[in-house]
Each structure stands twice: as structure tokens, then as C-alpha cells.
Chains A and B, each alone.
Chain A
Amino acid sequence: MEQQILEFDDGIPGFPDARRFQLVELVDDGAFQLLQSVDDPDLAIVVAVPWLFFSDYAPELTDVDQDGLGIESEEDAVVFCAVTLESDRRTAHMNLLGPFVVNVKSRKGRQIVLTDQDYPIRALLPLGVS
């Protein structure tokens, strides 16, 4: 999906004016990508596909979010989650509460807040290597 412009019409929490992003590979065939703002070069968030780390992750989109994104089946959706590195530079967390969901056909995206599904906002990433 890199090189494609992803449109987040509502922005994302904390960055309401950031509407257009690109997904950029950090390294070839690596686990992490950069969700890079097209309009603000200083705004970028490291993301990864959650199932690489949490195979039983099963976010449920509400009808409102599905309709808003025009997602009709699972194949329409790409999901990635923000990754933050702790200041000790050894541990990292993934935001499973607020995944980014993109409709692969329309390139429309939203950061979904999963209400009542008990997913942590800071799930410890089992990196295992340093």
C-alpha cells in the first residue's frame, strides 16, 4: 500500500488536521512501517500489523465505523496499530485499543476506538531481541 495516499477525513485524535498519510516501509520486508503525514513532514507514527504479535486480536468494528469506511467484508480492511518505544529503548508497546483501519479499495481510513472490547492501549510487544 506504500506510495498510496490514505485519507483520514476526520484526522486522528491529537492531530485533527492530519488528513492524508502514506504507509512507508522502515526496512524491506520488516515488521514495522511508518504512518507518515503527507501534509506535515514532522508527523509520523511507527505502526505494525497487530497479528504479527497478537495472533488472537479480534477487533470488532461497529456498524457506524463499517459504514463510515464503506467496509463490506474483512478483505476490504487493512488494520495496523501504533507502536511506541519506551524511554529505556528496550521495551515497546502497541496500541490495541485504537487501531488504524483502512478500506483498501477507497483508501479511506480512521483510527477506531474499540469501546467495551477490553483491549489495552499499551500492550507489551514481545520483541525478545535487543
Chain B
Amino acid sequence: MLVLSRRAGESIVIGNDVVITILEVRGGQIRVGVDAPRNLAVHRAEIYEQVLAENRAAAASTDLQASILSTKATGLRLQDPTRSAE
């Protein structure tokens, strides 16, 4: 890993179109600004990791999940007011 020291107001450029700026350093917290192209998703790592783990769980044993949920769905339709009104 490349390690750089930066002060508040200083930036790092990644490639040609990603700029990361240290906005504020206070106590144990650092505020970071990210300028990136709109097709590039920027996430807090811990939240991204949660979504990734949940996707993997959702994709595991899908056939079983699908068969059980579709069975439940029969009763579900009766409970759902938006559908029973149709």
C-alpha cells in the first residue's frame, strides 16, 4: 500500500479523474472529499462490505429460497391490500 502524509486542504490525485481531498482533521475524525466521475461508485467501506456480504447470502441456495418463498407468496397475496383490491 502506498502511504502518503497529507494536511487539511491537501489532495491526492488517482489516475486522471479522481481527486481525494482532506477537508478537515479533528480529533480522531478526518473529513474527506472525493471528486470522481459519475460512473464511479464511491462507498464507505464498511457499508459496501455489508451489501457485498448480503448479496452473497442472497445468492446462496437460491433455488431453495425461491421455492419456499414462492409457496409463502400464495398466502401473502391475500394479506396485501394493494393486491387484494385488484
Give A contacts to B, CB under 8 Å: 9-10, 12-15, 26-27, 29-32, 34, 43-46, 51-52, 64, 67-68, 82-85, 89, 92, 95, 97-98, 110-111, 113, 115, 121-122, 127-130
**Contact of B70 (CB < 8 Å), options: A26, A67, A82:** A26
Residue on A nearest B81 in the bound complex, by CB: A55
What is the distance, in angstroms, from B33's C-beta to the closest C-beta of chain A?
Answer: 14
User: Complex formed: what's the CA distance from A8 to B25 in Å?
Assistant: 37
**Contact of A45 (CB < 8 Å), options: B48, B51, B59, B68:** B59
Contact A13 B48 (CB under 8 A): yes
Question: Assuming A67-B38, A68-B39, A115-B43, is B58 touching A26 (CB within 8 A)?
Answer: no
Which residues of A sit under 8 angstroms from B39, Cβ to Cβ? 9-10, 68
Of the candidate stretches B3-11, B16-24, B72-80, the one touching chain A is B72-80
Contact A30 B51 (CB under 8 A): no
Contact B80 A52 (CB under 8 A): yes
Query: What's the dominant secondary structure at chain B's contact region?
Result: helix
Contacts across chains A and B counted by CB atoms under 8 Å: 112
* B14 at the binding interface (Cβ < 8 Å): no
Contact A14 B66 (CB under 8 A): no
* B57 at the binding interface (Cβ < 8 Å): yes
Question: Assuming A43-B59, A45-B55, A121-B51, is B41 touching A10 (CB within 8 A)?
Answer: yes
Interface mask (B25-56 → A, CB under 8 Å = 1, otherwise 0) = 00000000000001101011001101111111
User: Complex formed: what's the CA distance from A32 to B55 in Å?
Assistant: 16
**Contact of A26 (CB < 8 Å), options: B41, B66, B82:** B66
Which residues of B sit under 8 angstroms from A34, Cβ to Cβ? 62, 66
Query: What are 30 inter-chain pairs, A to B, with CB distance below 8 A?
Result: A9-B39, A12-B55, A13-B48, A13-B52, A14-B52, A14-B53, A27-B73, A31-B77, A31-B80, A32-B69, A32-B70, A45-B58, A45-B62, A46-B58, A46-B62, A46-B65, A52-B83, A67-B38, A68-B38, A82-B54, A82-B55, A97-B47, A97-B50, A113-B41, A113-B43, A115-B43, A122-B54, A127-B76, A128-B76, A130-B72
